[in-house]
Amino acid sequence: MKRLPLADTALAVAIAVLAVGVAAVSDLFSNEDRHVDAFALALAAIAGLTLAVRRRYPLVTLAVVTAACTTYLLVGYPYGPILFAYFIAVYTVARYLPWSRSAPASAVALVVLLTHLLTNRAAFGGALGLLPGAAWAIVPFALGLIVRVQREAVARERAEEVRKHAYDERLRVAQEVHDVVGHGLAAIKMQAEIALHLLAEKPEQAETALTAISRTSTEALDEVRATLAVVRREDDARAPAPSFNRLEELRERMTESGMRIDLTTTGSPRELPVAADLAGYRVVQESLTNVLRHGAGNTATVRVSWEDDGVEIAVGNPSPEVPTSRDGLGIPGMRRRITSLGGTFSAGPTGDGRFEVRARIPLEARS
């Protein structure tokens, strides 16, 4: 059985002690015919101690407290802190139960409590007692409802943040897989066409193309496994994380696919956050993949310029345009990667018969 919350237990004991103590002391100075006796003290103790289970059984707590308070007042005992127990019980129902259950329960409890106006000589007579009596239910109910609405709003915001984080994570994984698989398949397609063209007349060169296909597919699979391993939070990734340090390897693979790539790096390379390093590599990879798919002449230039406050990437090729991916990846995916890090991105014709992708990543990139 779950233990009762310490705060509720302490509150219940405090209210019970206060109700019993004040009732006993006030009786010494009371001129009323109905003096506080053991029955009155027992009712006060029951009303207070029942609050210990208020969050676990809010309706039961309200029923018991209302019965104790109503009996206390119907008998004719004087007003006292026993009504604090009723106040807290109504608040609890409004705070922890939906409106459809809390409102009817509180209304019934109020009607029951107000019956003492007909018998208790200490109460205001007739209709005059309805307003102060109703306040003991309306005020705590309103407070409980306000707190409940606020807490539900906070919970919805947190749930929305969790959903957004999950969506962003799925989008990131989709982008990674798109870049890896798209790049690998484009290279494999090019090599396969070369192999088919040379197979009959120059089988030895076709063998070279087939070997390149095998190596490219293996590397692509390793990168996919590495990406999925990160998602599963495993430490046995089979390939090192893509970064600016591996651009030369990327150039060599693309060269084997039949491309001519001029790779130039200027400035002093420095360490970037992992996300920024990966984003820079993916921009170059996706740009070259687009050149392989859509470019004219299969030639490209890659410029990586390290500056004091960031690194700039420029990938160009002699082509009037490169179609963007309609599925939200490709060039839109590159733009999303860079801008999420606080960088800038552009892609389009340069006006001299070339298409160029430019990206700039700040050294203090947002993670």
Q: Which domains does the chain have, with CATH numbers?
A: 6-123 (no CATH), 162-362 (3.30.565.10)
d(CA 62, CA 31): 31
Look up tokens 């006292």; give the residue. Answer: 80
Q: Closest Cα to residue 106, out of 92, 119, 120, 118? A: 92
Q: What is the predicted pLDDT for the residue at 87?
A: 92
Q: What is the predicted pLDDT for the residue at 168?
A: 73
Whether 304 shows a pLDDT value over 90: the answer reads: yes
Q: What is the predicted pLDDT for the residue at 276?
A: 86
70 close to 112: Cβ distance less than 8 angstroms: yes
d(CA 171, CA 179): 12
For 326, list phi and psi in degrees, rounded to 5.
Answer: -85, -5
Q: What is the predicted pLDDT for the residue at 156?
A: 85
d(CA 149, CA 88): 18
Whether 40 shows a pLDDT value over 80: the answer reads: yes
d(CA 109, CA 77): 19
d(CA 165, CA 114): 52
267 close to 305: Cβ distance less than 8 angstroms: yes
- 152, amino acid identity: E
pLDDT one-digit tens code per residue, 198-244: 666 777 666 666 677 666 676 666 666 666 665 555 444 445 667 88
- Return the higher-pLDDT residue of 266 and 28: 266
Sequence-ordered list of residues with C-beta below 8 angstroms from that of 226, at least 6 positions apart, any chain: 237, 238, 239, 240, 241
Rg, C-alpha atoms of the chain = 38
Whether 259 shows a pLDDT value over 90: the answer reads: no
| Cβ atoms < 10 Å from Cβ of 359 | 26
In angstroms, the first-to-last Cα distance of the chain is 45
CA angle 232, 237, 240 (to 5 degrees): 135
Q: Taking all residues of the chain, what is their mean pLDDT, rounded to a whole number?
A: 78
Mean pLDDT to the nearest integer, 16-38: 68
